[in-house]
Structures are given as C-alpha cells and as structure tokens.
Structure 1
Amino acid sequence: MGKAGRVACIFTPYVLTIASLICIIMVGLGCTKSSSDTLNNLYFMRINVQNISSEGSHTVTEVENILEQYGITSVTAQDVSDVLGKLQDDSTLADFYQIGLWGYCDGDINNNKTNVTECSKPKSEFYFNPFAVWGLDSSDIEGELPSDYKKVMNIYKTVSKWMFIAYIIAFSVTVAEIVVGFFAICSRWGSCVTTLFALLAFLFTTAASITSTVLFSIFKSSLGTTLKAYGISLSLGKNMFAATWLAVAFSLAALIFWTFSVCCCSGRSPYGHRNNGPRGITAEKAPYTYEPLGAGQVPYGQQQHTSYPPPAAHGGDYPMTNTNQRSNAYEPFRHS
C-alpha cells in the first residue's frame, strides 16, 4: 500500500479526533454567552427557584430530621424558613441558575420558556457557591452551619477543581494529537507517537466525563427531593452530558484506529526490495533472450533422447545420449 493508502488509513482517526475536540469545546463554551441559545442549552445542572417557598411541604419535625441526616444539628427548621423567606423576598433573585464549566448563567421563566439574561465572567476552577451567588455570605445561617457541611462544600470545591483540570488537559492533549497526527501520514513511527497522545486524550476525557456525571447526579439525587419540598427543583443538562460522552466515544474510536494504523497501512511501496534489487525496479524477462542454464541442463536441440529400434528401412543407429553437454551453455532461442 502506497502513500495514497496511508493517507486513507489516517483519515478516519483524524476525523474522529477532530469530532472529539469539537465536543470538548462545546462543553467548555456552555454557560459563557447569554445571547447564544445554543450555548444556553449546555449546562451541567439547572436550579429552578421560581416557585421557592419559605413554608415548604414538610413539617418542622421532618425538616429537622432531614437536616440531621446531613449532619446539620445546629440549624433549626425556623432558620431554614427565614433564609428561604429572604430569598423569596429578594427581588434580585433570578428564576433559575445554570451551572457550567467556567461559570453560571441565570434568567427568567415565562410561559414555561427559559430566557437567559446574564452569565458570570468565566473563571478557572469554577464551582457554584449558592451563598455567594445568592448574597447569603453575611447570613447568620452560614456561620451556624457545622463543620460537616463545610467539609462537604470543600469536597465539592475540590472535585470541581479536578473536573476543570481534567477537561483542560483533555482539550490540550487532543489538540496535540491532531498536530502530531500529520506525521502519522509519513510513517508508522508517527502513528505510534500519535497513539500515545490518543490514549492520554481518551483517559482524561473519560475521567472528566465520569467526574461531572457522578458529581451532579449525586447532588440531584441527594438534595433534589429535599429542596423540591421548598419549591426548588434540580435538573441535569442532557445536552451537556451528551456532548461530553460523545467526546469520549469519538476519542475511543480514534484511539482504536490510530492503533490500527501502527500495525497496518504502511506507506512503503510493495514493489520495493524485491529480489534484493533497487526499490521500485522490477526485472522482466523478454522473449527471445539468452539465459544461462543451470548445472545439468542441456541446450535446446541437444536434449537426451531415448533410443528406439531403428526402422528396418534405414538400419542406422541413433545415439543414446549427447556427450557434448556443457554445464553453462546458453539456449540459442527461447520460445514462449
């Protein structure tokens, strides 16, 4: 297979790598521009506080039991109602908040249609802090929260930081994979190096996707039921998770085809080094040419014949063999 076949072999993983990079870019662009409807539909989680209520559907005892399950014993149900009441009366509180990789967006809900009005400034290692976003830093309830709750927030901050770093590394390595992929057209060594980058890209893309999926799924499953009683609903962004897992799928497929290009699809000509001769030169035998004969071969016309009884009409003798054989004679004429 020549260079054309080599290019065709590299084309498939190259396209898959570009597709994976596009999906990673879409994940990074989510919740970064309020005027883009496409980017506004890319978020990890949406927090809907349009119907927030300080009363809630739980009794005081149920609220205190729920708080106790999360290790919050110094906060009463009345404290929770007071904080939610402040949020309910706050005119600056948006109807919903969407969490992305670099920041968050907020907006209004009219006739069951969301309208993003503002997005925060992109920030590296971002994590959504409701106390800071909702202006509750000076609230007494934050100071009364036990150390267990603060540990949970620190874990969330640490995991969000790792998730951000994993996406950045996945993006960088995928870009390097595309650049190094040019050299894969020339040789299998180029494919080998590209395969290493493809493996790193797949590992970090998968790690980032798993982290984001597990992180926000836990939040939704553990807090969704409790907050729903107070009119606060949590929902996951299907488009964002579809983009990140498509990036994983494309990255895996690219890794498989890059590995295949290391073992197959050589760029060398199949006619090279034949019969230890110059590459690309093949000797062909033309008709009616002189050729050396091997040992024991007899020239044409002087082959050994089997003697038969002479005809009665002639009575002559025919020789049994030809004794004038030469070990390295040339055939006078070569007939096809």
Structure 2
Amino acid sequence: MGKGGRVLCIITPYLLTIASLVCIIFVGLGCTNSNSGTLNDLYFFRADLDNVTDSSTVTSKVTDALSDAGVKVDDGDITTALQEVQKQFDLMDFYTIGLWGYCDGNINNDKYNVTECSKPKSMFWFDPLEVWNLDQTGLENALPDGVEKTLNIYKSVSKWMFVAYIVAFVATIMELVLGVFAVCSRWGSCVTTLVAVVAFLFTAAASATSTALFAVISGVFNEKLKPYGIVGHMGRNIYVATWLAVAFSLAAGLFWMISTCCCSGRSPYNHKEHRNRAVTAEKAPYTYEPLGPYGTPYTNTNTSYPPTAPATGQRTNAYEPFRHV
C-alpha cells in the first residue's frame, strides 16, 4: 500500500490516543478553578452540609464532644450549638473533591455556587477533620467508628489512585510521541503497542479505583453522617470522562496492534528485488542463443539479406555452437 496507506492505518489509533489524553486531562483539571463552571462540575465526591444545622436527631455523643470543647448545651438545644460552631469556623454549604484538591461554596436556590478552590497538591486527600476545623473542637471523637476507618482507607488508596492517573497520563503522551515513528515501519507500531498497553492498564486501574473508593465513601457518609445533616453524593461528569478515557485507550491499543500486522509502508513497484525478478522473468527456460569465439555470444554482423555465402577458400564450421540457458 505504500506510505500513504501506512499513514491512513496510523491515523485511527492516533486520534483515539488523543481522545484518551483529553479525557485524562479533564479528570485532572476537576476542582482546580473556581471561575470555571465546566471544571466545577468535574468532581469525584460532594459532601452537602446545607442541612447540618437542621438535623434534630444528633446523638448525645456529639453533645458530650461539644461539652469537652467548652461549649455547654442541653440535649434539646443541639441545633443552636451546631449553628454557633458553623459561624465560628465558617463552614460552607458543600465541598467537592477532585484529584488535586477540593472546592467549596454555597447553595442558593438549589444552585451550587463555588466560592473557592484549594491550591493543587500532589497525593491529595480530603481530610474533613482538618478542612471543617473539627479537630480544634474535639468533634473528631464524635465521628462514628465506620467513618474514621473509611477515612484512613481513603487516605491510603487515594495516593495509589493519584499515582495511577499520573502514570496513565505520561504513558499516553509517550504513546503519541512513539506513534509518529510508527508511520515509518511496523516495528514502530510494535513499540507503540507496548506503551499503549501500559497506558490502558493504568487508566483502567485509576478509573476503577476512583469509582470503587468514592462509592464506598458515599455509602458510609449517607449511613453514618446523614443523621447529622451531612449527605454525600458521587459526581457524574468526571466518571464519564475517566471511563471514556479507558474506552479510547483500549480502542487505540487494539488499532496499534492491528497496525503491526498490515500496511508495511513499502511499495512493491519500487523494490529492487522486484525489478530483478522482472528482468529474470524475461528469459524463458530451455532457450538457446548462439555463441561466438571464446564462448561469447555470437553476433551476426552481416546485415544483408539473404546472408552472403562465405568466400572461396575460407573454412566453414560444420555446426554453430549454442549455449544452454
């Protein structure tokens, strides 16, 4: 097919790789810019605290923790106590969690308005005790055991998740760079296919980890903290982006693999061996050609027709030698 066919064979996996990279970039940009409505909708998990002061089913364990912090309240006045804590530490109505940080804001007319986003940080994990300033009031003792255990798991797994996304991002970029050399030969496609497999595995691992991790966190929040007026929700757009990255990465890897088996990029009409075979094929087998003196091919220099007889006294051969070809 030649170079043109080779280029057409590479275009499909190359475009799929670019699409996968774009999706991974969107996942990484979630919750990094408070002025971007698109990026604000890219979050793994959202904790709603809008109804935290409206809860009337808070247990006496929270009351004891508040008393230890110096806030004395009666069992029937727990709502007022939580309102005072919220004013003191300026708790926001909601918090969204991304790969590099979190954003917070207020809810107005059922509309989530992001106020501020944290500074991007590697190996980020959301610590509610620190962000909500609960560790300064002794309220960390009021958290159910299930929540504390889940937070410890989240802290450890989030580091692996972050590394997996970074490796997937780097491997996808390498896939694009090596894909340029894949135009030249099928060996380039072979190397690119190996990198594409690595990119797919880490993209799939990161996506599966984030989905499972925040599904567990959401369930624990709704089970353990809903009585306190704190509700957890998983995002939607960021999971669409991350799983699209997996699909594009898988398709790209398959097409890179196909490109190693076809479209070599060599033109059969310009190949030296083809020209040699064509010249050799002009001579049919079992043919003879006359030989001149010393075994050289005989050339008839007599241009007259019919041939002129040899002069008198000259020696003539009884036969004319031929060379078997």
Contact 1:10 1:258 in 2 (8 A): yes
Could you state the TM-score of these two structures normalised by the residue count of structure 1? Answer: 0.75
Aligned pairs, how many? 282
State the secondary structure of the residue aligned to 1:97.
strand
Structure 2 residue aligned with 1:313? none
The residue correspondences of 1:92-241 to structure 2 (distance < 5 A) are 92-142=90-140, 151-241=149-239
TM-score by length of 2: 0.77
Map 1:1-12 to 2 at 5 A.
Answer: 1-12=1-12
Amino acid at match of 1:78: T
Shift of 1:88: 3.4
What is residue 250 of structure 2 aligned with on the other side? Answer: 252
Structure 2 gaps of 5+ residues are 70-77, 289-318
Q: Is the 8 A contact 1:167 1:208 kept in 2?
A: yes
Does 2:71 correspond to 1:44? no
Aligned-pair CA distance for 1:268? 0.9
Give, as a single letter, the amino acid of the residue that structure 2 aligns with 1:24: I
Is the alpha carbon distance of 1:9 and 1:142 closer, same or farther for their aligned partners in structure 2, counting shifts above 3 Å? same
Question: 2:268–2:274: 8 Å Cα contact kept in structure 1?
Answer: no
Cα RMSD (Å) = 3.1
Separation of aligned partners in 2, 1:173 and 1:45: 26
Q: 1:213-254: per-residue Cα shift (whole Å, max 9, x none)?
A: 000001112321332333222111100000000000000000
The aligned residue for residue 21 of structure 1 is: 21
Shift of 1:80: 6.7
Q: Is the 8 A contact 1:293 1:329 kept in 2?
A: no
The separation in 2 between residues aligned to 1:150 and 1:232, in whole angstroms, is: 15
Residue 14 of structure 2 aligns to a residue in which SS?
helix
Name the aligned partner's letter for residue 83 of structure 2.
Q
- Structure 1 stretches of 5 or more lacking a match? 61-74, 297-323, 331-336
Taking the aligned partners of 1:147 and 1:221, their CA distance within structure 2 comes to 14
Kindly provide the amino acid, as one letter, of the partner of residue 11 in structure 1: I
Deviations 1:137-190 (A, max 9, x none): 222233677988655433211101111111011101101110111000000110
CA separation of 1:162 and 1:56: change in aligned 2, threshold 3 A: farther
8 Å CA contact retained: 2:27, 2:42 = yes
CA shift in 2, pair 1:267/1:87, >3 Å: farther
Matched residue of 2:176: which SS?
helix
Equivalent AA in structure 1 for residue 29 of structure 2? L
Work out whether residues 79 and 141 of structure 1, in 8 Å CA contact, stay in contact via their aligned partners in 2.
no
Contact 1:54 1:88 (8 Å CA) reproduced: no
Paired letter, 2:6: R
Find the residue that maps to 1:263 and give its secondary structure.
coil
**Equivalent pair of 2:144/2:224 in contact (CA under 8 Å):** no
Q: How far apart, CA to CA, are the structure 2 residues paired with 1:221 and 1:144?
A: 19
